[in-house]
Amino acid sequence: MTPRRPRDGDPLDREVDEALALANESPPQGPQPPGTESEEDWADAALSLANGRPAQPTRERSPDDTDGVREPDDADDADDADDADGIGGIGGMGNTGDIAGIADTGDPTRTDWVETALDLAREAAEEPAAVLDGQDHVRRRPEVYSRSRSSGSPTSEGTGTNGTRSRAPAHQTPAPHPKRTPGAPTPNPHPSMNAAHRSPTSWPDARAIAARAAVKEAAHAAPVLRPLSEVLGQVLAAPLAALTDLPPFDTSAMDGWALSGPGPWRLPAGTEDQGHQGILAGHGETAPLPDGHAVRIATGARVPPGATAVLRSEYGTDAGDGWLHASPAHPVVLGQDIRTRGQECRSGDQLLPAGTLVTPAVLGLAAAAGYDELPTVRRPRVEVLVLGDELLTEGLPHDGRIRDALGPMVGPWLRALGAEVLGTRRLADEADAVYAAVAESSADVVVTTGGTAAGPVDHVHPTLRRLGAELLVDGVAVRPGHPMLLARLARANRANHASHTNRENPGNPGNPGSAETPGNAETPERPSRPARHLVGLPGNPLAAVSGLLTLAEPLLRTLTGRPAPDPGPAPLAEAVQGHPRDTRLVPVTFRQDAAVPLRFNGPAMLRGIAVADGLAVIPPGGAKRGTEVDVLDLPWSASATEQPSHADQARQRTDRATDGEGISPQEGPA
Ligand SMILES: Nc1nc2c(c(=O)[nH]1)N[C@H]1C(S)=C(S)[C@@H](COP(=O)(O)OP(=O)(O)OC[C@H]3O[C@@H](n4cnc5c(N)ncnc54)[C@H](O)[C@@H]3O)O[C@H]1N2
Ligand code: MOO
């Protein structure tokens, strides 16, 4: 749907993109160009490469490699397979040991920029540079460029060998592009729809903007009181305070006898029969137990007044003579196996903070603590609009058409993030259809898929212009997913929007109607009531996942009242190549606490994310093996359902332990 053409953007981006597009299409030929002198020349280096002249230094060629073109069976191909676009970009960054046959050039800065240009080239390629054969073995398709590598790439953590650059830690704004003026302002986080060009927002900034975008709307949303059976997966709108002591009365922790004082103990007359049930759970208060007496009791039964301990049935002997004896191996300790009233909480104690995700365990605790209903944050209502004429909803791909992978995925993903999904609609690639669907949606958040780029049938931007939307994020410096966007829209108002219909000029993106410049289009509605938001996810499926985690997750987190997750750093099991300027999100799985990057991580692929535990945040420039990187949880991964953050939980666990809570020492191990 989106033709490859230079995007509107800063001239450097265009230059590089053009070079990279060429690099993927032109086999290298001819002599090598002279080495470039500085990082400033990196785009030129990319262009040189694109024009078929491998930049200095070159890969050391094996004796049988005479053509300079990498063939599938070139000596280093096997080791390099993971680096192929879409199949990894993993396992080589700054680690010459991973790459056989690469010369050490002694000019790391120079080589780095060549390297990064080549990485960009691979990333820009529509097809992965490796393919699967029928046996699921990765084979390399012939490369169209030669590459070089040096030891100590300066894109790696630290300063490399020349001390000129250091890797930005995760969650920090990436280092400015070398061609940007040092000290120049960072990209406007609220770029105008009319801006001459759109600078991508840094990935951490994009997440922060998305988290702040709906603060007002979240504050306006009144909590909803709902029965326990309906609130699983929602978020507590108020702290959960105990409505009762827990346990509400002194309770026997074991089946056995309630005792009073030291033994032996006299049993009630007529209880020699072992079938006698004694005090059962669920019974009201019983008569006081006199000193020196015992009575049979069941687990969970109310301990009679005067009882000083419970003796487990296996630790006592009823000889049938009316006396109970404790086994000498198990002397009775005062209070043993009695759960005292209020051991877990006193009425009024705060059990859980507002913002807690309602899990099955929370439902259980709430019920135990006396709740029939819970106050929860109103779930934001979300509508998913899937754009793309090429999409099929069933059967096998045919005639250039493919299955819609996002329709079945995005709604459930948003639901897992706490949204109420009103529905998923598939729309034709028609400007008016997209406009009408967005304009008339009653959802708090409209999530579109596809159509975010600048192709002839990419209708998201034109629709936002027609609606006078405010673009909060318009492109993010993240791979995949960089065309993602976040906009603020006025509330749907059918009468108002009807008057807008047919007034746009979708073919003229330079003539938009915008909140900032009314005049070319309708005067935008300025929201006097809570706004709604639109998240535009790119059409490439993994790029859409990137948009879900970058923009939808923080936006919905605010709207659902959840605390920010703790991404939890993990060491990388393998080096991961980075993008020179953008953050990369790479599916990973955990093995022995290390994040193992998964292959099949290309923008159009879901095979990696389908088996992933999370997405590793690879800072611009890449990350070496062993580097601690943040890993974003997927909404269904175990830690994502823990609320609040891991760190807070650990702190709370410590607090509880030091409060002496947990299993009472008297109760002993079960
Ligand atoms: N000239 C440029 N072209 C493109 C750029 C760019 O910077 N300059 N960026 C590329 C990137 S990166 C992405 S991502 C896509 C984003 O494009 P759109 O959001 O407009 O998405 P589409 O063009 O509609 O689709 C892209 C791709 O994804 C497939 N797709 C779309 N929807 C689905 C779906 N529901 N299920 C499965 N696959 C889907 C679609 O068929 C295309 O192959 O733009 C690039 N172009
Ligand atoms: O690679 Mo695009 O970044 O697929 O979003």
Position 76 scores a pLDDT of 31
Ligand 2 centroid from CA 177, angstroms: 19
Same domain flag for 405 and 522: yes
Q: In this predicted model, what pLDDT tens digit does every residue of 492-541 receive, in sequence order?
A: 655 444 333 333 233 333 222 232 222 333 344 444 568 999 999 999 99
Ligand number nearest CA of 602 is 2
Same domain flag for 357 and 455: no
Q: Are 545 and 598 in contact (CB under 8 A)?
A: no
**Residue closest by Cα to atom 46 of ligand 1:** 2
Is 65 part of a structural domain of the chain?
Answer: yes
**Would you say the CB of residue 388 lies under 6 angstroms from ligand 1?**
yes
Atom of ligand 2 nearest to the CA of 604: 4
Atom of ligand 2 nearest to the CA of 542: 4
**Would you say the CB of residue 546 lies under 6 angstroms from ligand 1?**
no
Position 270 scores a pLDDT of 65
Q: How many helices (H) and strands (E) does the chain have?
A: 14, 29
Ligand number nearest CA of 476 is 2
Position 134 scores a pLDDT of 26
User: How would you write 540-563 as a 3-class SS string?
Assistant: CHHHHHHHHHHHHHHHHHHHHCCC
Is 582 part of a structural domain of the chain?
Answer: yes
Domain stop point among 341, 376, 411 = 376
Q: In this predicted model, what pLDDT tens digit does every residue of 397-448 receive, in sequence order?
A: 999 999 999 999 999 999 999 899 999 999 999 999 999 999 999 999 999 9
Residue 483 belongs to domain with CATH number: 3.40.980.10
**Would you say the CB of residue 538 lies under 6 angstroms from ligand 2?**
yes
ipTM higher than 0.95?
yes
Is 301 part of a structural domain of the chain?
Answer: no
Is 462 part of a structural domain of the chain?
Answer: yes
Number of domains in the chain: 4
Is 451 part of a structural domain of the chain?
Answer: yes
Same domain flag for 408 and 553: yes
Residue bearing tokens 């990333």: 123
Same domain flag for 62 and 205: no
Position 276 scores a pLDDT of 65
Same domain flag for 500 and 595: no
Measured distance between the N- and C-terminal CA atoms of the chain, rounded to whole angstroms: 64
Residue 227 belongs to domain with CATH number: 3.90.105.10
Same domain flag for 534 and 404: yes
Q: What CA–CA distance (Å, rounded) separates 111 from 92?
A: 14
Q: What CA–CA distance (Å, rounded) separates 498 from 494?
A: 6
Is 169 part of a structural domain of the chain?
Answer: no
Same domain flag for 35 and 108: yes
Domain stop point among 140, 156, 185 = 140
Position 167 scores a pLDDT of 26
327 token code pair: 């086994």
**Would you say the CB of residue 482 lies under 6 angstroms from ligand 2?**
yes
Is 266 part of a structural domain of the chain?
Answer: no
658 Cβ partners below 8 Å, 6+ apart? none
Atom of ligand 1 nearest to the CA of 1: 23
Q: In this predicted model, what pLDDT tens digit does every residue of 53-93 receive, in sequence order?
A: 333 322 223 333 333 223 323 333 322 323 333 433 454 33
Domain stop point among 116, 140, 164 = 140
Same domain flag for 489 and 411: yes
Regions of the chain where pLDDT drops below 70: 1-198, 270-276, 492-529, 638-670
**Would you say the CB of residue 540 lies under 6 angstroms from ligand 2?**
yes
**Would you say the CB of residue 200 lies under 6 angstroms from ligand 1?**
no
**Would you say the CB of residue 200 lies under 6 angstroms from ligand 2?**
no
Same domain flag for 443 and 400: yes
Residue bearing tokens 């002279």: 34
Q: What CA–CA distance (Å, rounded) separates 553 from 538?
A: 15
Atom of ligand 2 nearest to the CA of 603: 4
Position 198 scores a pLDDT of 63
Same domain flag for 528 and 398: yes
Listed residue (32, 30, 22) closest to 59, CA to CA: 32
**Would you say the CB of residue 449 lies under 6 angstroms from ligand 1?**
yes
Is 302 part of a structural domain of the chain?
Answer: no
Q: What CA–CA distance (Å, rounded) separates 122 from 85?
A: 5
**Residue closest by Cα to atom 31 of ligand 1:** 539
Ligand 1 centroid from CA 543, angstroms: 8
Kindly report the pTM of this predicted structure: 0.63
Position 91 scores a pLDDT of 44
Residue 581 belongs to domain with CATH number: 2.40.340.10
Same domain flag for 463 and 530: yes
**Would you say the CB of residue 411 lies under 6 angstroms from ligand 1?**
no
Same domain flag for 535 and 628: no
**Would you say the CB of residue 539 lies under 6 angstroms from ligand 2?**
no
Q: What CA–CA distance (Å, rounded) separates 232 from 46?
A: 53
Q: Are 348 and 239 in contact (CB under 8 A)?
A: no
Peptide bond into 480 cis (omega under 30): yes
Show the domain range for 354: 222-244+350-376
